[in-house]
């Protein structure tokens, strides 16, 4: 997931590299409640890698900048679906569950959402 920084905010990759990064993230790391940082990540591992919510607004920002409003709306909807009953975005969800960790709300996630909304 960290390779997304090469697209946003740094914009230092070619179009082909951008497409490869996005394809890899979307086909290998996107989950129901977030984006896996990398295979085998043990931070908050519950039998599988944690699902990081910030990946959704991050992808939304990238697709908005690319002009792909269909994917932008898709990832915005995914972001909103991760909010708890208070409207807070948690840091992450335990793999394959609707249980989030105690780092809620996480300011970084709300900041990414605000950037995606701008």
Q: What pTM, to 2 d.p., does this model score? A: 0.95
Distance between CA atoms of 7 and 77, rounded to whole angstroms?
A: 21
What is the C-alpha end-to-end distance of the chain, expressed in Å?
Answer: 22
Mean pLDDT confidence for 83-88: 95
Band of residue 13 on the pLDDT scale cut at 50, 70, 90 = very high
pLDDT in tens, 53-62: 999 999 999 9
Distance between CA atoms of 45 and 102, rounded to whole angstroms?
A: 14
Token pair 């915005």 in the structure block, residue: 76
Per-residue model confidence (pLDDT) at position 44: 92
Domain boundaries, the chain: 2-117
């Amino acid at each position: 997931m960290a390779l997304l920084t090469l697209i946003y905010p740094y914009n230092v990759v070619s179009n082909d590299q951008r497409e490869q990064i996005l394809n890899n993230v979307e086909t290998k790391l996107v989950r129901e409640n977030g984006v896996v940082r990398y295979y085998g990540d043990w931070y908050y591992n519950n039998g599988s890698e944690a699902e990081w919510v910030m990946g959704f607004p991050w992808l939304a920002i990238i697709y908005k900048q690319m002009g792909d409003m269909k994917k932008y709306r898709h990832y915005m909807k995914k972001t909103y679906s991760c909010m708890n009953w208070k409207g807070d975005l948690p840091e992450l969800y335990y793999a394959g569950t609707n249980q989030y960790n105690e780092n809620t709300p996480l300011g970084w996630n709300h900041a990414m959402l605000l950037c995606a909304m701008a």
